[in-house]
Amino acid sequence: MTLVFLDPTLALDVVESPHDVTGDVPGVVRFGGVDLSTAQARYRRLRTEHPDARILVDLDVHLAYDARTARGEVLAAAVAPRPDTLRYVGTPAGLAGLIADIVAAGVADGVTVRPVLDRARDRVVRTVTTEVASLLDSRTARAS
């Protein structure tokens, strides 16, 4: 697991395996949700219970340089969505936008990114920690 804090309100936690759900990091609380609305309600409750923690929502991710390819790869692998976990299949720019929206809408302080496909794990981790993190960093700089 690689915890990357991009600014005081935004963190990316890239889990090396789609099966890693523990990730004990002091001061960090992880949770899931079937959709953004459910996740937002859970976040509000967790924020009350853990006022000083960073609260990250689990997000299963598969990335490619175009959304059609990403969807096709996931469909070809026939990987069913995990229950009670948000999923994003698309481009690095789209993921950066979703993460920024999750934080802006008060759904979580950041996300735990978990690769959907084992065979693409290294590529997803590399893309998230380089391209997506860079896109988020530039969004944060523009908003300041």
Whether the CB-CB separation of 10 and 109 falls below 8 Å is answered with yes
Q: What is the pTM of this model?
A: 0.85
Q: CA–CA separation, 135 vs 140, rounded Å?
A: 9
Read off the tokens for 63.
Answer: 């990335």
- For residue range 75-122, what is the model confidence (pLDDT) as tens digits? 999 988 888 899 999 999 999 999 999 999 999 998 888 889 989 888
Q: Amino acid identity of 32?
A: G
* Exposure string over 29-63, b if 16+ CB within 10 A, otherwise e: bbbbbeebebbbebbeebeeeeeebbbbbbbbbbb
Tell me the per-residue pLDDT of 120-144, one tens digit each, with 9 for 90 and over.
Answer: 888 988 898 889 988 988 876 565 5
Which neighbouring-strand residues pair with 115?
Answer: 61
**If DSSP codes are grouped into helix, strand and coil, which group holds residue 137?**
helix
Give the type of residue at 23: G
| pLDDT of residue 70 exceeding 90 | yes
The structure tokens 């953004």 sit at 36
| Residue 30: closest CA among 1, 72, 64 | 1
Q: Return the percent helix, strand and coil in the chain, to nearest 5.
A: 45, 25, 30
